[in-house]
Structures are given as C-alpha cells and as structure tokens.
Chains A and B, each alone.
Chain A
Amino acid sequence: MGTVSTTAAPAPAPSRVQVFLRRVRNGDEIAHVVTMIFGASILLVTAALVYELWIQSAQSRAKFGWSFFVTSTWDPINGIFGAWPYIYGTLVTTTVALVIAVPLGLGAAIFLSELAPPKVSSSLSFVIDLLAAVPSVIYGVLAVFLLEPVMRTTIQPFLKHTLGILPIFKELFKGPAYGFGYLTAGIVLSIMTVPFIISVSREVLMAVPQDQREASLGLGATRWETTFKIVVGYARTGILGSIFLSMARALGETMAVTMVIGNVAKVSSSLFAPGYSIAAVIANEFADATSELHLSSLVELGLVLFLLTFILNGLARVMIIATSRRGAGASQR
C-alpha cells in the first residue's frame, strides 16, 4: 500500500511564479506572446491604414462633405473634386466582371469536379492555378494589344446589331465602338477573376460528401438535379466565399483597368463608353498631385474604396452566415 520513498517529504506545490518561469524556459510563454503580437499586428496595421486615410483626407472631407459622393466634376485647376464617376466606374466594371465570371467559373468548376475524368480535372486545375498567378499588368498589356482591337472591330459592332436591338440593351450598347470602355475593362476583370472562382469552387464541390450525391440519386433525382440542387446547394457557402473573394480583387484592380477603360471621368449609361475607376485615377494622379486639396481628394477616394470593399465583404459574411444556417437546418431535418 504505502510506497517506500527515499525522499523525506513530498515537494511543496510550485508557486505561480515558478510555473511561469518554467513556462518561459520551455518557450511556451514566449510562443504565446510572439504569436499574439503577430495576430495583433494585423489589426494594428489595418487600424493604422484607416487612421492615415482618415487624417490625410481631412481637407477634402471638410471642404466637400457628402457632396463629394455625388459631384461629377474633377477639376484640379479650379479645385473642384467629385467622386461619382469613379465610384460608378468601379461598380459597373465589377458588376460586368461578375456577370461574366460567375456563370463561367461555376460552370467550369462543376465540370471539373463532377463530370471530367480525374486526370483531365487535375491537369486543368493546375493550368487554372497558374492563370491565377499571372501579374495583372500582363493582363493589361494583353488586353490593349489583343482584346481592344477585337472589341472595336468585331465584338462591339456584333453586340450592337444583335442584342442592341432589344429595348434595355439598346441603351447599354449605345455610342461609337472605341474598344476602350466599361465593357472591355469588365471583360479583362472577368478573365482575371475566373481562375479564383474555379479553383476555390472546385475544391468546395469536391469536398461535398459522396453520400449526399448517392442519396439524391437513390431518391430518383436526375444527374443535373443532383448536381445543381444538392451538391451546389451543399457547397453554397464556399462558392459564395469564392465569388466575394474575386469581387474584392476586381474592385481594387488597377493596372489592367486603367489600360483599357479609357480614363475619362464621365458617367455614361452605355457600356461602350470610356470611363474611370477609383484605383485607376489614384494610380494615374497620385504621384504628381498638383495641390494639397487634390492629394487629399485622392486619399478620400482611397478611403471610399476601402469602405466599399469593407461593406461588400461584410454583406458577404452576412449572406454566408444566413445561407449556412439555413443549410445546416435543412440537413438536420
């Protein structure tokens, strides 16, 4: 029962200081603190970013107030700055990009995960991941030399004569076919964002458990019903996440957009018209801003873009939470 022990008495319980010192010696405490600093530094950098944007845009915020968002004039000589054409251009090009990229990307992801033989699927995905890594300025150069002439001579006149006859499209495809404009910029952005949508959606679709598909087919659903209702439905949150990730990229894309959008600070309902985006004007005018008010207005544009991205990502989060709750509830029934 009793053990023979050579020690005189059990050692006293170690004090808290001794425990702490032992943890420091082992490296536990240091690891804890260092990783905490890394985590906090991300928050600090973001906070510093917002702070700087806020402070540097003080002059233009004081001068223009809310009218900054609705004014269309951008006149550095006379000191009148309005953000509306840039906000409009950013939203239009991103919308066009998503309208093209989402069906394309999702369709390709479904093909790669459900329908293609495994060898084809893995080699194609490798190529798509490479596409995602191409620098955006390369896409811009390709757009100027390949896409723009094709748009001007072939695609835009074609759209005008076919879809352009219908009522809404008549307004969208109005005006001369420059080749530079919202539509071309939107197409370049869609080419740049499609690889993200495909690779993330494919991963998510492949992660859907096989028994979901088997159960659906067993209940009498067709192949397509299974794919669209069950598999895509199950992977909904991941797919939405990939769409919002690519939207964030499209919102901030600078070089490729400025090379093909025409760089004209005017609002137009036609997709063929040249326009401007927030990132493009900051890239073009920041280094040489002629006055303090000009610089301050450009920084305020940066703040607007930051807020836009923040709000859209926030909406994404809300949508993901909403759909996942619904999804989880449905699967429990």
Chain B
Amino acid sequence: MRKSILSLVLCLGVTGIVLAQSGGVQINAGGATFPNPIYSKWFNEYNKMHPNIQINYQSQGSGFGKAQLVARSIDFGASDGPMTDDELSKAGFKILHFPTVMGADVPSYNIPGVNATLKFTQKALAGIYLGTITKWNDGELTKANPGVKLPAEDIIVVHRSDSSGTSYIWTDFLSKANSEWKSKVGTGTTVNWPVGLGGKGNEGVMGTVKQQPYSIGYVELIYAIQNHEPFGDVQNLDGVFVTASLEGVSAAAAGAAKSMPDDFRVSITNAPGKTSYPISSFTWLLIPAKITDASKRDAIKGFLKWMLLDGQKDCEALSFARLPTQVIAKETKAIDQIQ
C-alpha cells in the first residue's frame, strides 16, 4: 500500500516536471515599478497572441532591474532612470535602451481652507524641498497665486522613503531648476533629502499628505488621476504654468525628440515648449545587444516591434502617455541592433 502511494507520487512528480518544461519560450524580466500596470497588460496581451511566449516581469524597482540584468539573471530589465556611462561600462556587455512610455510627477498638497489649484514656480518647489521656504505664505508662493489666501503655517514636506523612479524624475527636475539643489543634493532614486517626512510608495506619500494638514508631496500623475487627488500646476522652462496631463507630457517628449541621442538616454524634465509639462520622463527597457538564444532573441524583438506599433494604443486607458511618432520610428530602426 505504502509502496504504491510512493510510486504514484513519484510518477505525478515526474509528469509535472516534464509538462512544465515542454515547449515555449520563457523570458524573465524585471525592474521599474512605475510602468508595471502597462507592462503587465502588454505581456499578458502578447502571450494571448503568441501562447508559446511567456514573459515573466518582476516589478521590484529600477535598481533591481539594472543589477539583475548586469548579473544576467534576467533576460531584460526595465528602469525609470537611464543607466549612467559608469554603470554601462561596468556591465561588461553592451546594453541598449528602449523607451516604452512616459509619465510625470505632480505636487499634491493639503491646505485646510484652500481649494484652489495652486501654481508653483520652479524656485518655489526647489525652495520648499531644500527647506529654505518654510511657510505657505512665503513671497514666492503668494506672488504666483494672487487671490488665494495662503496661511502663515509651516510647510510639512513629504518625499519617498523607498528608492523610486518617481523620486528620480522629481530630483532630476529640481537639479535642472535650481543649482543649489544640484550641488547640495543631486539626482537619484534615493537622495539625502534636506527636509521632510518619508512615505513608502506613492500610497505612503499620498496617505501622509492627506493626514497632515499644510503638507505637500510628489506622486505620479497616473496615481493622482486614478485616485482623484488634487494637484498643483508647475511652471515650465518657458514660464507657463502647466497642469499635468498626458498631452503636456507628450509635448515635453516631442520637444526633446528633435535632439534625441541615438542611444535614447535622455532626460526630458524641464523640456522646452509652451505646453510642455516640466516634470516628465521616459521609462526604458534595458535589452542586451547580444542575445545568444535565438528563440528568446526573436521573441524579444517581436515584442518590441508589437509594443511600438500596437501596444501604444493601450497607454491612454492606463493614464500613460504614448511615445511621439519620431521616437517610435527611431526605435523601430534601433531594434535591428539586437543580434
């Protein structure tokens, strides 16, 4: 009796292992959390069209994506910030960047008694996050918001406590907008914030801002839209106060598309253009230039082509901005670089 149960279990086990390995291409990927909603949708749709190709994406952060790609434990990675020259040279093999979608950061605030949409100048945001502007009725804020009665209360600043692409975009913008920020703090997914409370994830920042009166925090545009959170307008490079929207983000990318470098590593924060939203950014897929496994290579190239032509239509529904046509054209050509 015992022997027959044991042999049955063994047979089932072997069958299971065999079935799991039969046929199909299994691709492992991982990285940025910001585009996870649309990546999940794309990989799922692509698998429905090509049932033998399965792409497994682990949304563990841009740092994870970069590190694991260099360690070659995933087939391709994803990152909200492009890899630096230093990181690329340390990798040991050539890595190509492919922008997929764009997103933006917005400043969300909670001031009891103030329901109007506030306008923030670049100096104001930098000052608030540096800790030099401490009260809501500071001249820099009242100047840009005539007609709004701002209270004489301390500003409670909120930032991200975890490493994040959202922080990368925000700090990149502040570095461009303010030289003091650039020298004192810099750009990164985790920085030495001069002031402020830390919240974990977009939810953490949003929750803290909602709980603390007279506070301000930055969250992703997608998050603010889908959760119906109010946010302020930001002044762009041309001096216009722009309300964050998918159109504003696309305008920023189109402005930068003219001078897009061949490797697609470009920052589009503070982009020129009257309608450009200044705190926008691409997010990239990191693909090795040389893929030895032919089936994986063809699957990845096929996915990229589909994503650029067909996948982009899924963007609006999930509140991501699609790539400008010039960038799509350039990328389609660049796919041939994957050997």
Give the CA-CA distance A251 to B19 in the complex, in Å.
Answer: 46
Residues of chain A from 166 to 192 with CB closer than 8 A to chain B in the complex: 176, 178-180
A179 touches B163 (CB 8 A): no
Q: Is A285 an interface residue (CB 8 A)?
A: yes
In the complex, per-residue mask of B182-226: 1 if CB is within 8 Å of any chain A CB, else 0: 000111111111001111100010011001100000000000000
Q: Is the CB–CB distance between B200 and A264 below 8 Å?
A: no
A89: Cβ under 8 A from any B Cβ? no
Name, among B185, B197, B212, the residue most crowded by chain A CB atoms within 10 Å (CB to CB).
Answer: B197
Is A176 a contact partner of B192 (Cβ separation < 8 A)? no
A319 CA to B70 CA in the complex, in Å? 50
Whether a CB of chain A sits under 8 angstroms from the CB of B74 is: no
A75 / chain B contacts, CB cutoff of 8 Å: 191-192
Which A-chain residue is minimally distant from B156 (CB atoms)? A178
Structural contact, B197 and A178, CB atoms closer than 8 A: yes
Query: Which B residues touch A276, using CB under 8 A?
Result: 198
Q: Are A74 and B192 in contact (CB under 8 A)?
A: yes
Q: How far is the CA of A265 from the CA of B67 in the complex (A)?
A: 25
A225 CA / B128 CA spacing, docked (Å): 60
Task: Answer whether residue B63 sits at the interface, using C-beta atoms and an 8 A cutoff.
Answer: yes
List A279-293 residues whose CB lies under 8 Å from chain B: 280, 284-285, 287-290
CA distance A276 to B187 in the complex (A): 22
Chain B hits for A98, CB < 8 A: none
Q: A77-B188, A77-B192, A263-B199 are in contact. Are A288 and B211 (CB under 8 A)?
A: no
What sequence of 0s and 1s flags, for each residue 47-83 of chain B, a beta carbon within 8 Å of any chain A beta carbon?
A: 0000000000000111110010000000000000000
> Chain B binding site: helix, strand, loop or mixed by DSSP?
loop
Interface residue B164 (Cβ < 8 Å from any Cβ of A): yes
Size of the A side of the interface (Cβ < 8 Å), in residues, is 30
Q: Which residues of A contact B200 (CB under 8 A)?
A: 258-259, 263, 284
With A and B bound together, what is the CA distance between A238 and B188 in angstroms?
50
B238 interface contact, C-beta 8 A: no
A-B CB contacts (within 8 Å), total count: 84
Q: Which residue of A lies closest to B186 (CB)?
A: A77
Docked CA distance A241–B16 (Å): 48
Task: State the CA gap A265–B161 with chains docked (Å).
Answer: 10
CB contacts (< 8 Å) of B233 on chain A: these are none
Q: How many Å lie between the Cα of A264 and that of B187 in the bound state?
A: 18
Interface residues of B in 273-330 (CB under 8 A from A): none
B residues near A262, Cβ cutoff 8 Å: 197-198
Could you tell me if B163 and A285 are in contact, using CB atoms closer than 8 angstroms? Answer: yes
Q: Does B140 interact with chain A (Cβ within 8 Å)?
A: no
Which residues of the other chain, A, contact B161 by a CB distance below 8 angstroms? Answer: 258, 263, 280, 284
Complex Cα distance, B163 from A148, in Å, reads 24
Measured between beta carbons, the chain B residues less than 8 angstroms from A284 are: 161-163, 198, 200
B263: A residues at CB distance < 8 A: none
Chain A residue with the shortest CB-CB distance to B188:
A77
- Shortest CB-to-CB span from A221 to chain B, Å, is 52
With A176-B154, A264-B197, A284-B161 as contacts: A290 and B192 at CB distance below 8 Å:
no
Which of A78, A176, A178, A290 is the one whose CB lies under 8 Å from B163? Answer: A290
Check A288/B190 contact, CB under 8 A, given A178-B212, A263-B198.
yes
Q: How far is the CA of A126 from the CA of B272 in the complex (A)?
A: 66
Contact A287 B196 (CB under 8 A): no
User: Chain B: residues with CB nearer than 8 A to chain A?
Assistant: 60-64, 67, 154, 156, 161-164, 185-193, 196-200, 204, 207-208, 211-212
23 A-B contacts, Cβ less than 8 Å apart? A75-B192, A76-B188, A76-B191, A77-B188, A78-B192, A144-B207, A178-B212, A263-B161, A263-B197, A263-B199, A264-B198, A274-B198, A284-B163, A284-B198, A285-B162, A288-B60, A288-B61, A288-B162, A288-B164, A288-B190, A289-B163, A289-B190, A290-B188
A interface, CB within 8 angstroms of B: 73-78, 144, 148-149, 152, 176, 178-180, 258-259, 262-265, 274, 276, 280, 284-285, 287-290, 294
